C-alpha cells in the first residue's frame, strides 16, 4: 500500500489512483530564465522518485512538467518584474519576444541536461507555457462567466472573496504578512489576496480580446495540467514555497472553472538550505550542477545526497556533506562491481524476497529514502553469505530501478587484487558504512595478516603491500 503525505489534508494517506493501475501527475517545472540550482532540482527529484515508486509497483504513470517560458513575475505578487525579462536584461539581450524565445530554448536545454545528469527521468510531456495561451484565455473566460473576475487598469484579476474555499492548502496568512502584502503596490485590487489572471502589456506579449499582454503564472499551470491530464487528476507537486500562493491560486482557478476537484494529492518537498538559509537565486547563495562538476563531483553523488534525507525534511547542503555522500556512493559502486565480479556478471539471479519487501515497505511509506538506503547497506553486508552474490546482484539492480544510482556503470577502479583480499576489503567497506567498527577492525587484522597495509581516508580505504 503506497502512502503519501497530502498537503491538502496535512496527513499521510493511502494513495488510491482515480483509474486503477494508472497515475496522472503534474509537476510545477522550471522557469527557464537561468540555470536551475540544486535546490530547484530537489523538486524535480521528488517528481522522479514518486514516478519510480509507482513504476516499480507496476503502475503506469503519465507525468507532465511544465516549462515556464513566459509570465512568471519575481516574487509571488502581481507587481514584480517578469523573470524572463529579467533574464534578458542580465544577458544584455534585447527585450523582444524573439529574444525571450531564444533565452527560453537555451535554458530549457540546460534544464534537460541537468535533470539527465541526476538520472531524473524525463517527464512524458514538457509543455511550454508560451504554447498554451489559448487554453489560459479559455479558463479566464469561464471564470469571467461565473463572476470570479474583475478588471483593473493593469490586468484581469481573480476575486478571492467570491471563492468560499479559497486557501485550501493553507499557509495564506503567513504569506500575507511576509510576502504578498509587502510587495503589493496595487491599490486597485479589491483584496490583497486577489491575483492576476492576465496582465496587460502593449509592447510585449500576446494579442487577445482580454487586452494585449501576458497570462499570469498561476493560470498557466491550470491550463497545462487540464490540457494533458484533464480537469481532475491524481497528483500535483512542487516545492513547499509554492503551496501558499501559487498552488492555492491554481486550485481557485481550476476548481471554480470546472466545478470539480483539481488534484487528489498535493505533494511538496522541503528546501535545500545552505548555511541555514533557503537556497535561492534571489539570495545569491545558489549552486548549480555546473559548479558541482567543476569541483570534481559526480552529479549522481548529489542524487545520493538527496536520497539521504526524507523529502519533507529540510536538508542542509555543504561541500563536506556532499563529499561524504560521494564517498558512500563510491563505496557502494565499488562494492557492486565486486559483487558482479563474484557473480561472474550473471544477471539472472533472483531478487531476494525478504529484502525486496523491506525495501518496498520503506518507499511505500511516504518515500522513506534514508531507510531504503539503509536496507541496501544491510543487504550488502550479507552478500556471499546469507544471500548469494548472484542474488545480491539481482536485488541491487532491482533497488536501483528506484534509486537511480547507475550502479551497473562502474567508473570507479577496482584494483587488481586477489579475490580473497578484494572480498575482505569489500566486507570491510560495508562494515565501515554500517558503523560496525569491531567487524572493520577484525577485517583489518585479517587483511594485514595476509601481508597488506590499509590506509583509511574520507575517500575510502586503499591497500598496498606491507
Ligand atoms: P522555479 O524555477 O524558481 O519556478 O522553481 C522550481 C522549483 O524549485 C519549484 O518547485 C520551487 O518550489 C523549488 N525550489 C526553489 N528553491 C528551492 C530550494 N531551496 N529547495 C528546494 N526546492 C526549491
Ligand atoms: Zn505551477
pLDDT band at 410 (very low <50, low <70, confident <90, very high): confident
Look at 73-82, 123-132, 153-162 and tell me which has the smallest mean pLDDT. 73-82
State if pTM tops 0.75: yes
Q: Which helix (H) or strand (E) holds 200?
A: strand 195-200
In sign, the C-alpha dihedral spanning 366, 371, 376, 382 is negative
pLDDT confidence of residue 345? 86
pLDDT band at 417 (very low <50, low <70, confident <90, very high): low
| CA–centroid distance, residue 349 to ligand 1 (Å) | 41
Measured CA to CA in angstroms, residue 315 lies from 277, 307, 309, 326, 378 at distances of 10, 10, 7, 16, 24
Q: Which CATH class is domain 319-465?
A: mainly alpha
Q: Which helix (H) or strand (E) holds 465?
A: strand 460-465
Q: What is the mean pLDDT of the chain?
A: 91
Residue from 7, 87, 239 whose mutation best tests the ligand 1 pocket (most atoms within 8 A of CB): 239
| CB of 28 shorter than 6 A to ligand 1 | yes
pLDDT confidence of residue 181? 40
Decide if 51 contacts 121 (C-beta within 8 A). yes
| Residue 105 grid cell | 530554448
| CB of 242 shorter than 6 A to ligand 1 | yes
pLDDT at 174 exceeding the cut of 70: no
| CB of 220 shorter than 6 A to ligand 1 | no
Instruction: Tell which residue, 16, 37, 230, 59, has the closest CA to residue 135.
Output: 230
CATH of domain 3-269: 3.40.50.620
pLDDT confidence of residue 456? 82
| CB of 71 shorter than 6 A to ligand 1 | no
pLDDT at 103 exceeding the cut of 70: yes
Instruction: Tell which residue, 156, 90, 133, 299, has the closest CA to residue 227.
Output: 133
| CB of 39 shorter than 6 A to ligand 1 | yes
Question: Which residues are placed with Cβ below 5 angstroms of ligand 2, an ion?
Answer: 28, 221
Tens digits of residue pLDDT in 118-139: 999 999 999 999 999 999 999 9
Tens digits of residue pLDDT in 237-265: 999 999 999 999 999 999 999 999 999 99
Measured CA to CA in angstroms, residue 260 lies from 16, 76, 202, 204, 230 at distances of 18, 25, 35, 34, 11
pLDDT confidence of residue 374? 97
pLDDT confidence of residue 448? 85
Residue from 26, 28, 43 whose mutation best tests the ligand 1 pocket (most atoms within 8 A of CB): 43
Backbone φ, ψ for residue 239 (5° rounding): -70, 155
Say what angle helices 299-307 and 319-342 make with each other, to 10 degrees. 100
Residue from 86, 241, 273, 282 whose mutation best tests the ligand 1 pocket (most atoms within 8 A of CB): 241
Decide if 17 contacts 220 (C-beta within 8 A). no
pLDDT confidence of residue 173? 52
| CB of 315 shorter than 6 A to ligand 1 | no
Distance of alpha carbon 225 from alpha carbon 66, whole angstroms: 8
| CA–centroid distance, residue 134 to ligand 2 (Å) | 17
Decide if 231 contacts 255 (C-beta within 8 A). no
Task: Average the pLDDT over 354-358 and give the result.
Answer: 97
Instruction: Tell which residue, 119, 458, 413, 461, has the closest CA to residue 322.
Output: 458
CA nearest ligand 1 atom 15, residue: 40
| CA–centroid distance, residue 40 to ligand 1 (Å) | 4
Ligand 1: atom nearest CA of 68 is: 4
pLDDT confidence of residue 381? 86
Adjacent-strand bridge partners of 198:
156, 215
Ligand 1: atom nearest CA of 278 is: 19
Adjacent-strand bridge partners of 462:
455
DSSP character at residue 36 = P
Residue from 37, 38, 40, 288 whose mutation best tests the ligand 1 pocket (most atoms within 8 A of CB): 40
Q: Which helix (H) or strand (E) holds 92?
A: none
pLDDT confidence of residue 393? 96
Distance of alpha carbon 195 from alpha carbon 172, whole angstroms: 13
Q: How many angstroms from the chain centroid is the CA of residue 32?
A: 16
Residue from 39, 76, 283 whose mutation best tests the ligand 1 pocket (most atoms within 8 A of CB): 39
| CA–centroid distance, residue 466 to ligand 1 (Å) | 52
| CB of 281 shorter than 6 A to ligand 1 | no
| CB of 349 shorter than 6 A to ligand 1 | no
CA nearest ligand 1 atom 14, residue: 40
| CB of 238 shorter than 6 A to ligand 1 | yes
pLDDT at 386 exceeding the cut of 60: yes
pLDDT band at 75 (very low <50, low <70, confident <90, very high): low
**Residues 376, 377, 382: CA angle, nearest 5 degrees:** 100
pLDDT at 459 exceeding the cut of 80: no
Task: Average the pLDDT over 371-398 and give the result.
Answer: 94
pLDDT confidence of residue 175? 43
| CB of 405 shorter than 6 A to ligand 1 | no
Q: Where are the domains of the chain?
A: 3-269, 319-465
pLDDT band at 178 (very low <50, low <70, confident <90, very high): very low
Distance of alpha carbon 419 from alpha carbon 342, whole angstroms: 8
In sign, the C-alpha dihedral spanning 274, 280, 285, 288 is positive
**Residues 14, 20, 25: CA angle, nearest 5 degrees:** 70
Kindly state the percentage of the chain with pLDDT values over 70.
Answer: 93
pLDDT band at 274 (very low <50, low <70, confident <90, very high): very high
Amino acid at each position: 500500500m503506497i502512502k503519501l503525505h497530502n498537503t491538502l489534508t496535512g496527513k499521510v494517506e493511502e494513495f488510491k489512483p482515480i483509474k486503477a493501475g494508472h497515475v496522472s501527475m503534474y509537476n510545477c517545472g522550471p522557469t527557464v530564465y537561468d540555470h536551475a540550482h540544486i535546490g530547484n532540482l530537489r523538486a524535480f527529484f521528488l517528481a522522479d522518485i514518486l514516478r519510480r515508486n509507482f513504476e516499480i509497483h507496476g503502475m503506469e504513470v503519465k507525468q507532465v512538467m511544465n516549462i515556464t517560458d513566459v509570465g512568471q513575475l519575481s516574487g509571488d505578487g502581481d507587481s514584480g518584474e517578469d523573470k524572463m525579462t529579467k533574464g534578458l536584461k542580465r544577458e544584455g539581450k534585447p527585450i523582444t519576444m524573439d529574444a525571450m524565445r531564444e533565452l527560453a530554448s537555451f535554458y530549457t536545454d540546460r534544464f534537460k541536461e541537468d535533470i539527465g545528469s541526476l538520472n531524473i527521468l524525463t517527464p512524458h510531456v514538457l509543455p511550454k507555457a508560451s504554447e498554451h495561451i489559448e487554453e489560459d484565455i479559455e479558463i479566464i473566460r469561464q471564470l469571467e462567466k461565473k463572476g470570479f473576475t474583475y478588471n483593473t487598469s493593469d490586468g484581469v484579476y481573480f476575486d478571492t472573496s467570491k471563492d468560499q474555499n479559497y486557501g485550501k492548502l493553507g499557509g495564506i496568512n503567513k504569506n500575507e504578512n511576509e510576502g504578498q502584502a509587502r510587495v503589493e503596490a496595487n491599490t486597485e485590487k479589491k483584496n490583497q489576496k486577489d491575483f492576476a489572471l492576465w496582465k496587460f502589456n502593449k509592447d510585449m506579449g500576446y494579442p487577445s480580446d482580454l487586452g494585449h499582454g501576458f497570462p499570469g503564472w498561476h493560470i498557466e499551470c491550470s491550463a497545462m495540467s487540464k490540457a494533458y491530464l484533464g480537469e481532475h487528476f491524481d497528483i500535483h507537486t512542487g516545492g513547499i514555497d509554492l503551496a501558499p500562493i501559487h498552488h492555492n491560486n491554481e486550485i481557485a482557478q481550476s476548481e471554480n472553472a470546472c466545478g470539480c476537484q483539481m488534484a487528489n494529492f498535493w505533494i511538496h518537498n522541503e528546501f535545500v538550505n545552505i548555511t541555514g538559509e533557503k537556497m535561492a537565486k534571489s539570495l545569491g547563495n545558489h549552486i548549480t550542477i555546473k559548479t558541482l562538476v567543476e569541483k570534481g563531483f559526480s552529479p549522481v553523488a548529489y542524487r545520493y545526497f538527496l536520497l539521504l534525507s526524507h523529502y519533507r525534511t529540510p536538508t542542509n547542503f555543504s561541500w563536506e556533506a556532499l563529499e561524504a555522500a560521494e564517498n558512500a556512493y563510491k563505496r557502494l559502486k565499488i562494492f557492486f562491481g565486486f559483487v558482479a565480479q563474484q557473480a561472474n556478471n550473471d544477471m539472472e539471479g533472483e531478487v531476494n524476497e525478504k529484502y525486496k519487501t523491506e525495501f518496498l515497505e520503506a518507499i511505500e511509506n511516504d518515500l522513506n529514502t534514508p531507510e531504503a538506503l539503509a536496507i541496501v547497506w544491510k543487504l550488502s553486508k550479507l552478500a556471499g553469505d546469507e544471500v548469494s552474490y548472484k542474488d545480491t546482484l539481482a536485488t541491487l539492480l532491482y533497488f536501483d530501478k528506484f534509486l537511480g544510482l547507475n550502479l551497473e556503470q562502474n567508473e570507479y577502479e577496482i584494483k587488481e587484487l586477489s579475490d580473497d583480499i578484494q572480498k575482505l576489503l569489500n566486507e570491510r567497506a560495508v562494515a565501515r558504512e554500517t558503523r560496525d567498527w569491531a567487524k572493520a577492525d577484525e577485517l583489518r587484522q585479517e587483511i594485514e595478516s595476509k601481508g597488506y597495509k590499509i590506509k583509511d581516508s574520507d575517500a575510502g580505504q586503499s591497500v598496498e603491500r606491507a
